[in-house]
A and B are shown apart, each in its own frame.
Chain A
Amino acid sequence: QLQLQESGPGLVKPSETLSLTCTVSGGSISRSNYYWGWIRQPPGKGLEWIGSVFDSGTTYYNPSLKSRVTISADTSKNQFSLKLNSVIATDTAIYYCARHVRILAYWGQGTLVTVSS
């Protein structure tokens, strides 16, 4: 049974970097033919795809966030990570990791990250 679990600080100061890790169990992220992505949801609002990594290296980013986002994979730990720099209050959201191709079939439970001083 594939499981994804997000981890990282729940509070980040404005202008700093948000860093999250998704640990995958029950399946390998390498040579899997799947994409491993991040999606966020501001409190009470809708879903926004942030970006994804494929085959441990190729990345795809939402153009609206591309200048601030880095997604990478660590196959030795079966994890992939999100870094969002220069955060502001509107980056406050629940951040989900997911396994996907065209559809997002497996999601982590999500982690709330608040941007505040």
Chain B
Amino acid sequence: DIQLTQSPSSVSASVGDRVTITCRASQDISRWLAWYQQKPGKAPNLLIFAASTLQSGVPSRFSGSGSGTDFTLTITGLQPEDFATYYCQQGNSFPFMYTFGQGTKLEIK
């Protein structure tokens, strides 16, 4: 099974900062990686798919990059509404298995 490891597990930052979250896959997943944002009490919300394609309606301060085993989510110019938990998810094993990273909690400094 493909495992996804996110780092850091939590990060503190201020409004206006630039934050980078990484997701490492245990084997090559090409570009089949998505990022989700989850706020308390809400379902995850798709931000980025295919490693770097922004989902419709998602602000351009969010960006993704990477391929193979190493991926990053970058938020440039943090806004108050960005403080949430972020998950990566691999779709390489589709349709037989889907796995998520353990999550990264982005907190206000």
Nearest CB of B to A81, in Å: 18
Main secondary structure, interface of B, reads loop
- B62-109, CB < 8 A from A: 87, 89, 91, 94-103
Q: How many A-B contacts if CB must be within 8 Å?
A: 56
Instruction: Decide if A105 touches B94 in the complex (CB within 8 Å).
Output: no
Docked Cα-Cα span, A49 to B36, in Å, equals 14
Nearest CB of A to B43, in Å: 4
Chain A, residue nearest B48 (CB): A103
Nearest CB of B to A14, in Å: 26
Nearest CB of B to A2, in Å: 13
Residues of A within 8 Å of B94, CB to CB, are 101-102
Instruction: Decide if A104 touches B44 in the complex (CB within 8 Å).
Output: yes
Residues of B within 8 Å of A49, CB to CB, are 97-100
Chain B, residue nearest A50 (CB): B98
Instruction: Decide if B87 touches A109 in the complex (CB within 8 Å).
Output: no
B contact residues vs A (CB 8 Å cutoff): 1, 32, 34, 36, 42-46, 49, 55, 87, 89, 91, 94-103
